[in-house]
Amino acid sequence: MTSTIDPKTIGQPTKTAKTAHRRHVRTVTGYIPETDASGKEKWPVGDEKVWKEGIPKLTTEVPAITKSVVNHVHTSLARQAYNLDNLGAYQASALSVRDNLLVNWNETQSHYSRKAPKRAYYLSLEFLMGRTLDNALLNLGLKDKYQTGIDKLGFNLEDLLDEERDAGLGNGGLGRLAACYLDSSASQELPVWGYGLRYKYGIFQQLIAPDGSQLEAPDPWLEHDNPWELPRTDVTYPIRFYGHAERLDGMRAIWSGGQEVIAMAYDTMIPGYETKTTNNLRLWESKPKRGFDLQSFNAGDYERAVEASNSAEAITSVLYPNDHTTFGKELRLKQQYFWTAASLADIIRRFKNTDKPLSEFPENVAIQLNDTHPTLAIPELMRILVDEEDVPWEKAWEITTNTFFFTNHTVLPEALEKWPVPLMETLLPRHMQIIYDIIPSASTAVERKFPGDRERLARMSIIEEGFPKNVRMANLACIGSRKVNGVAELHSELVRATIMKDFVDLYGVSKFSNVTNGITPRRWLDQCNPGLSNLISETLKLPKAEFLKDLTKLGVRRVLLSLLPRTMHIADIVMENLQGLLKYVDEPAFQKKWAAVKQSNKERLAHYVETTLGFKINTRAMFDVQIKRLHEYKRQTLNILGVIYRYLTLKDMTPEERKKVNPKVVFFAGKAAPGYYIAKLTIRLIVNVARVINQDPDTKELLSLYFLPDYSVSLAEILIPASDISQHISTAGTEASGTSNMKFCLNGGLLVGTVDGANIEIAEEVGESNVFFFGHLTPAVEDLRYQHLYHPVPIEQKCPPLARVLNEVSAGRFGDGGVYEPLLNTIRQTDYYLLTEDFDSYIQALKLVDEAYQDRIEWIKKSIRTTAKASHRFTSAGMGKFSSDRAIQDYAQEYWNIESTKVE
């Protein structure tokens, strides 16, 4: 006899299947020690004394550090001093630092298990982490000692830092915001985990073709072992796609058949600054359930043998697959469900280990949805509660709507995510059933409050009628979340007044609020600009921790908030330490030191450009920087057309007139989505304009232009400290917030921008005299678009300078003009992003910049005031308002209701 299996049962759920994957073999999380009758914890295995003597401690002294690094060279890398290069030395050093992180990490997770605080989980499709070694050393306070130890081993720490590749887990501001929030959560000792996907190739490596166009190559960031992650082979969950959903009694159903893949966890430690607290980023990798099809292989069908494996592994291969194809669209939806389903399974498993009833789930768990990408978590939680945990529908919906919180990141209706109903019905049949089950209660609430308003019902419906019908993810996120927030004051107001107005009318304004984005001052000041950080520390005679962590005084914050009117912000009460710099703004010696730091950063950027691109840069010129993902609303096109205008103006000048001109170097960096044709044309135009003006003997000393390919966090860390000005020039009302503007200001760079996003709040804090605003305001935008559509005026009449620029491009001054006609026609015809309306104002703003830059002393003062987070009208709030420490505390207190919990 032997055991047998009915082939028909393969892929079918069993009675134990729905709970089996909620528990797994012991990992660092979810374990609570048993206690004896007196309440004392019992040691689980072996001799407690022997175990505790063997538990590692932090390695904090140079001899122990060098010993740890050498040990990893020999035992982790199987190498020796005779054959160790910089890459090997980096890997050994990183593993040594990771050992320290793991000591704190284990203590943190055990602390959370014992104390069982309410936890928050941050679901984001992107986590743009940047390099980890430098950040880990900074947060551990061990950078100087590791530098000394590595010097003794014959290597240079800066060289080793350059060996690390940026993690390919994000593309833009959405992902960098998530990374800052995880850093701040750990630094503020908050129990917050992040959940994302472990992309094998990231988004893409950006290359530039000979004709100037963008090329996309795979970004193999995992080409070498990633020393910062821990594979969790014991943390796996089966994730189902396709199949069919069979209704049972009431609202329950059984989802079976189709394809099953395995989600396997990889953990990355997130250390807090000046604290033991070390939180976690858990990333999911897709793996085949059974892998290799041996029967097909033995039959000679080799492609079929690996088909299932390839299909499963493709899910986490690339960030943002091109969704202009049916395959790409399906793959993106697969990614979103795979990640949210695995994350929820893990969150529920951890909660159930506390033995609390599911009715208490919202009192113990808060889940933040970072944009609409994780919205499928809402029907997935309903599926788990109703189908697997037998919770009644009404109670399950109550639990769900009190667990989720939704951050909206756009005001562009076309950017709100939608998925075709036929695709959803095929790929996720059970979730489509649940969405249809949610609709009646949502529609009833609308009909009850606005009887007979069918247009409102249609606008608010989760399903958008059409061919095909679409699922509106933003509507689902709004209906299924406890609170909705925007990411800047203007953005949040626009959300309430436009794309979410109907929901505000239904639920009331209290559900819709604002949390202005923030950045971590550790990475975006001390790590990327140590010269400035050191100058601040020396001038104010303060340890760096005083201004890198103490931007919000957390010890008094909660008490003060409980006593203050809700309209007041703690920044109006608590004096920021960086305000002390204002006392030195008029001192020549301090001005000289400040200018020297900026010049050093410009030299560093120039060295980077020379070593990577082969070009020499005039570091005495003004550095003008725009670094963002390429998009029409961000208006890189306006910038490059302004550069062309400046070039043509210089060409028109006499040699004597040119002597009075302020030299300028313009930098662009950013990636265009592979399917975004107009954005890619903008890159091509930038590159080809640079070729012309950088070689023109009449102007090359006064104006030069560079496109720096393959933009990343590490490149931003070089560009931002070197900037004299940065451009944040989106059409008014289109940029939700922005965070790069905050980073530039923190590093003493002045802004050129529209009255949009966080630019407005920055100007309120640093003073409008330190920001160069231009362009039409948000209330005028729709009227101007209406005029463009129904009462167009020729560009030659409306804006002759811009017309000349466009004609020069069309005429072939910068290469084949016909190539750029689709791009130019977006301006000549509809001009949806109002370049023709704002061009004259933009050029005037740049002239004001030139005039201000000529007065070097006053310019340095402006730079100091900007970093010092204040203007002549503000004595407290300043740039501290834009710290991610402040933002994450807003989420913790106003949304998640979680407390700091110190790890002793």
Task: State the helix-helix crossing angle for 800-810 and 636-652, rounded to 10 degrees.
Answer: 90
| Region of 533 on the Ramachandran plot (φ > 0 left; ψ -120 to 50 alpha; else beta) | alpha
- Which of the residues 72, 634, 664, 881 is marked catalytic? 634
Establish whether 21 is a catalytic residue.
no
Q: Which of 198, 544, 629, 646 is catalytic?
A: 629
Amino acid letter at 821? E
The closest of 336, 328, 326 to 241, measured between CA atoms, is: 336
Asked if residue 132 lies in contact with residue 167, where contact means CB atoms within 8 angstroms, the answer is yes
Token pair recorded at residue 319: 């960030």
- Pair 205, 217: CB distance under 8 Å: yes
Spatial separation of the C-alpha atoms in residues 775 and 766, rounded to whole Å = 20
Distance CA 721, CA 601 (A): 6
Q: Give burial (CB, 10 Å; 0-12/13-18/19+) of 785.
A: middle
Residue 413 identity: P
Q: Could you please report the per-residue DSSP string of 265-295?
A: EEEEEEEPTTSS-EEEEEEEEEEESS-S-HH
Separation between Cα atoms, residue 66 and residue 235, nearest integer Å: 34
157, amino acid identity: L
Alpha helices in 564-676 (DSSP H): 588-613, 636-652, 655-658
Amino acid found at 337: Y
With beta carbons less than 8 A apart as the criterion, state whether 414 and 474 touch.
no
739 belongs to the catalytic site: yes
Q: Residue 258: is it exposed, middle or buried by C-beta count within 10 angstroms (0-12/13-18/19+)?
A: middle
CA-closest candidate to residue 265, choices 228, 296, 295, 232: 232
Do 434 and 252 form a contact (C-beta atoms < 8 A)? no
CB atoms within 10 A of CB 794: 10
Active site residue 583: no
Q: Could you give the CA distance from residue 449 to residue 507 in angstroms, rounded to a whole number? A: 10
Long-range contacts (CB closer than 8 Å, 24 or more residues apart) made by 824-832: 826/632, 826/678, 827/637, 827/795, 827/802, 828/795, 830/788, 830/789, 831/788, 832/632, 832/785, 832/788
> E strands, 508-558, where?
512-514
The answer to whether 230 touches 308, Cβ cutoff 8 Å, is no
User: CB under 8 Å to 549, separation ≥6 — which residues?
Assistant: 187, 273, 274, 522, 885
CB–CB of 190/902 below 8 Å?
Answer: no
Question: 255 in helix, strand or coil?
Answer: strand
CA gap 606, 598 in Å, rounded:
12
Helix (H, G, I), strand (E, B) or coil at 425: helix
Q: Tokens 């960098």 — which residue?
A: 176
Give the 3-state DSSP-derived string for 80-145, with helices as H, strands as E and coil as C.
Answer: CHHHCCHHHHHHHHHHHHHHHHHHHHHHHHHHHHHHCCCEEEEECCCCCCCCCHHHHHHHHCCHHH
372 is catalytic: no
Q: What angle do CA 162, 164, 167 make, to 5 degrees?
A: 135
Catalytic residue among 520, 739, 778, 866: 739
Catalytic one of 743, 776, 881, 886: 743
Q: Using CA atoms, how far apart are residues 892 and 738, in angstroms rounded to an integer?
A: 21
**Calpha distance 762→516 (Å, rounded):** 11
> What are the residue numbers of the active site?
409, 628-629, 634, 739, 743
